Amino acid sequence: MTSTLTPSAEPRPAASPTPPAQPDTGRSEFRRKLSRFDVKYSPYFYVAPFFILFGLVGLFPLVYTFVVSLNDWNLLTGPGDWVGFENFATELASPLFWNSLFNTFSIFLLSAVPQLVAAVVIAAVLDQNLRAKTFWRLSVILPYIVTPVAVTLIFSNVFGEQYGLVNNILTTLGLDPVMWKTETFPSHVAIATMVNWRWTGYNALILLAAMQAVPRDVHESAALDGAGAVRRFFAITIPSIRPTLVFVIITATIGGLQIFTEPKLFNAASSVPGGPQRQYQTTVLYLWDLAFNRQEFGRASAVAWMLFVIIVAFGLLNFWFSRRIASSEARVSKRRTRRRLEGYRAVPGAVPGSGAALPEPTDPADRLDPDPTAAPYDEEPRA
Amino acid sequence: MKLSRHTKVAAAVAGAATIALLATACSSGGGEGSDEKITLTVTTFGTMGLDDLYEQYEADNPDITIEATNIDTGGNALTDWQTKQAAGAGLPDVQAVEEGWLSKVMQVSDSFTDLSEYGAEDTADQWVDWKVKQATDADGRIIGYGTDIGPEGLCYNGALFEAAGLPSDRESVAALFGGDDATWEKFLEVGNQYKAATGKAFYDQSGFVWNSMVNQLDEGYYTADGELNVEGNADLEARWALLAQGAADGLSANQTQWDWGKGQAFVDGSFATFVCPGWMLGVVKGQVEAGGGDATSGWDFADVFPGGAANWGGSFLTVPTTSKHPKEAAALAAYLTDAQSQVTAFQAAGAFPSNVEAQGDAGVTGESDLTAFFNDAPIGEILAARAEGVVAQYKGPDDSVIQEQVFGPSVQELDSGKADGPTAWNHAIDLLHELVSE
């Protein structure tokens, strides 16, 4: 956009019918400078809003939190002594901190894994030729529109121990009621259920968008070659949506490790946030409790920072891991193809059809070429 | 899309200006334009029954406008106040403070206006004496005017008592628990009789009972000099043993406090007694109605409380020093807590007056929806009687943490039968070391 402006701005003074007067040259000099400035620097102005806002509401709090974490800081009476990394040491030695980490990861795994599997499956189903497509797509996003507070209040009621819907059903079926709010594992399942209910549809829609971008003719030719729906799903769809999958996994990780509303309101009347024995007190809830109930602002900031580091580390790990999963799919099938080819070559008689003649092209796995990173798929949309 | 260069430069400048505006928008507060018109902000919580009084005050003082904010619960109001106090900005001219977090307020009592400067000392005798004592900080500054208090009586379900073969009228029930000499031992004894006759639990859960047991002692978790005093505190341990015995005998229904199955537990006979500070009467009525019951559900209110006089809750109106109009704010707070206003608040919300004159007012002692609900119990008179002998217990800075986070889990262990008395006590002590630095 900017580059088109420069040439049109330059020749104008020269093409002007009246010969330029003395002061005008100075002005055109200025104009030239301005336009060069425009070309060189105005893009930075356009991206500046984000970075200024990020600096104000992202970077500054991050640094300030770190400063707070190095002090013995009471929420009300303010900063006390400079204690260095003592707050971090105290927290690392605190069983309650580790308990919160355990709860966070337990709830995260119970929610993220089933959620992503379900989201991929739902997206694959929605990717088929359904009647009333928009209706189905809107339906899966519906839970996402409901605020988490409302979701939690409803689920909290459903999972009530003495009067809840789930336990009522269990007891009418002659089963023992489950202590959803006072036992560790059931409470984690209950909270994971809320998270899943809310986020599965959202992730499914993102994955669906990615699946829609997979070229149809790849599917068609694979189908012509005899690949079934399941085979096509694993050999074409999954590898093709890998970047989106990585994105969804990372956002799910960040969200999952910061979970707060659901455990906070699951048993809102509990005198200890996160269950009477801290059965489902997640790390964010723990740091909130530290800051606002126990007034340990410094220690809460230390927890916040450790959580930040954990999330970054976990995000990187996840990125690396999900890349490997998606590409190992391709690697495994390549290896499989190679092994079969070697097998055919070693035993010429085993090749079906006409003896030793040209074994390679008759192998269906080879013709399917399931490597998504190979050129043909990448070039398809560009053509 | 082609833009002229001017447009682009203008856009860039406008963009930068927007950022600058965004950055400064937060810092510009609403200053008062003229000197005559004064706007006072008031933050309250729950149902304090002050709404009609604001209008009255504005009508009487045309140069004053009141902007009132009411926060749904005391807990959320605490978070709101703490955040603003910590940030040093955003506090209202008049801030309502609950007894439960008064100890936190006292940590920073110098950021509240000493109301003695505006005549609090002269009017101090219009409140019950312990209320004023609670609002006085270590330096003798009075930082709050008392609104309501929470003297505790005993709610009981007359129909269930009758079914268990126990007396059911108020006077006999009071006598049954020992009248003026009512003890927790006697309470458990009656509970066991009830349990034997019906097989049902006697009280909803142990948390409120423990709360009352601690609150009515002369010294609770702290000594009067402010020393933490939980470990090896014989009074507390003796009461804990009683609590554990009651839970072991099955007298607690192990309900979730503040939930009670959305009120169902109040109407399905899960329990027959309930500790009731004045403001709790409205809660009971609400719960019974939410559970589908009404005045015929049998709930009544007796002039008796195990272990003697006890108080739970009640609030104060304070004036933070950040107020630009401390004089006017103090005048408003004084008005909102005078005898007539407290009668109005009692009629509107059931908040029992801390003002001695208001306690005897016909508007408090007379009939109301609440008295009709509680089998025509003379609630105002009973609460005034229950308020006699209440002491202002010293509350340390971590009092609410100890109550909720140190003993809360152990109380729940008792109720669910996961631990016996001594084990649960030891768990509490472990948590005390973990949570409260001393």
- For residue B169, give its domain range: 151-311+376-435
Q: Which of A10, A34, A272, A297 to mutate to test the interface with B (most CBs of B within 10 A)?
A: A272
- Domain co-membership, B326 together with B245: no
- Domain co-membership, B139 together with B158: no
Nearest to B408 among A181, A276, A297 (CB): A276
Please report which confidence band the pLDDT of residue B34 belongs to, taking 50, 70 and 90 as the band edges.
very low
For the cut 90, the answer to whether the pLDDT of residue B95 exceeds it is yes
d(CA B276, CA B208) in angstroms, rounded, equals 9
Please report which confidence band the pLDDT of residue B367 belongs to, taking 50, 70 and 90 as the band edges.
confident
Q: What is the pLDDT of residue A348?
A: 56
With an 8 Å Cβ cutoff, are B408 and A272 in contact?
A: yes
The mean per-residue pLDDT over the stretch B411-436 comes to 93
- Domain co-membership, B190 together with B93: no
For the cut 70, the answer to whether the pLDDT of residue A8 exceeds it is no
For the cut 90, the answer to whether the pLDDT of residue B199 exceeds it is yes
Q: Please report whether residue B33 resides in a domain.
A: no
Amino acid letter for position A381 = P
With an 8 Å Cβ cutoff, are B2 and A292 in contact?
A: no
| pLDDT averaged over every residue in chain A | 82
- Domain co-membership, B165 together with B92: no
Q: What is the pLDDT of residue B108?
A: 92
How many Cβ pairs closer than 8 A exist between chain A and B?
A: 104
B47 Cα to chain A: minimum distance (Å): 18
Among residues B344, B365, B386, the one where a domain terminates is B365
Percent of the residues in chain A that have a pLDDT greater than 90, as a whole number:
43
Q: What is the pLDDT of residue A267?
A: 84
A164 Cα to chain B: minimum distance (Å): 8
The mean per-residue pLDDT over the stretch A133-154 comes to 90
Q: What is the pLDDT of residue A359?
A: 42
The mean per-residue pLDDT over the stretch B267-291 comes to 92
With an 8 Å Cβ cutoff, are B86 and A297 in contact?
A: yes
Handedness of CA A320, A326, A328, A330 (dihedral sign): negative
With an 8 Å Cβ cutoff, are A269 and B256 in contact?
A: yes
Alpha-carbon distances, residue A285 vs A196, B78, B374 (angstroms) = 19, 17, 40
For the cut 60, the answer to whether the pLDDT of residue A350 exceeds it is no
Percent of the residues in chain A that have a pLDDT greater than 70, as a whole number:
81
For the cut 50, the answer to whether the pLDDT of residue B3 exceeds it is no
Q: Which of B24, B256, B416 to mutate to test the interface with A (most CBs of A within 10 A)?
A: B256
Residues of B in contact with A183 (CB under 8 A): none
> pLDDT: is A375 or B97 the higher one?
B97
How many domains does one find in chain B?
2
d(CA A229, CA A207) in angstroms, rounded, equals 18
With an 8 Å Cβ cutoff, are B207 and A163 in contact?
A: no
Q: What is the CATH number of the domain that holds B223?
A: 3.40.190.10
Q: Please report whether residue B4 resides in a domain.
A: no
B136-170 pLDDT, tens digit per residue, is 988 999 999 999 999 999 999 999 999 999 999 99
The mean per-residue pLDDT over the stretch A258-287 comes to 89
Cα(first)–Cα(last) distance of chain A, in Å?
25
Q: Please report whether residue B371 resides in a domain.
A: no
The mean per-residue pLDDT over the stretch B65-80 comes to 88
Backbone angles phi, psi at A231, to 5 degrees: -60, -45
Q: Please report whether residue B330 resides in a domain.
A: yes
For the cut 80, the answer to whether the pLDDT of residue B235 exceeds it is yes
CA-nearest residue to B400 within chain A is A293
Residues of B in contact with A77 (CB under 8 A): 107-108
Q: Please report whether residue B16 resides in a domain.
A: no
> pLDDT: is B106 or B348 the higher one?
B106
For the cut 90, the answer to whether the pLDDT of residue A86 exceeds it is yes
Q: Which of A44, A50, A293 to mutate to test the interface with B (most CBs of B within 10 A)?
A: A293
Model-level pTM?
Answer: 0.77
The residue extents of the domains of chain A are 2-69, 89-345+359-379
B284 Cα to chain A: minimum distance (Å): 16
**Residues 6+ away with beta carbon under 8 Å from A158:** A164, A165, A166
For the cut 70, the answer to whether the pLDDT of residue B131 exceeds it is yes
Q: Please report whether residue B23 resides in a domain.
A: no
Nearest to A5 among B5, B86, B405 (CB): B5
Cβ atoms within 10 Å of B39's Cβ, excluding its own: 15
- Domain co-membership, B101 together with B126: yes
For the cut 50, the answer to whether the pLDDT of residue B31 exceeds it is no
Q: Which CATH class is domain A89-345+359-379?
A: mainly alpha
Percent of the residues in chain B that have a pLDDT greater than 70, as a whole number:
92
Q: What is the pLDDT of residue A339?
A: 78
B256-265 pLDDT, tens digit per residue, is 888 888 899 9
For the cut 50, the answer to whether the pLDDT of residue B206 exceeds it is yes
Residues of B in contact with A163 (CB under 8 A): 261-262, 264-265
Kindly provide the ipTM of the predicted complex, given to two decimals.
0.78
Residues of B in contact with A268 (CB under 8 A): 258
The mean per-residue pLDDT over the stretch B364-370 comes to 87
With an 8 Å Cβ cutoff, are B207 and A42 in contact?
A: no
Please report which confidence band the pLDDT of residue B51 belongs to, taking 50, 70 and 90 as the band edges.
confident
For the cut 50, the answer to whether the pLDDT of residue A314 exceeds it is yes
Contact A241, A212 (CB under 8 A): no
- Domain co-membership, B380 together with B353: no
The mean per-residue pLDDT over the stretch A6-24 comes to 47
- Domain co-membership, B111 together with B236: no
Taking the CA atoms of residue A181, residue A183, residue A189 and residue A194 in that order, the dihedral angle to the nearest 10 degrees is 20
Nearest to A52 among B19, B400, B408 (CB): B19
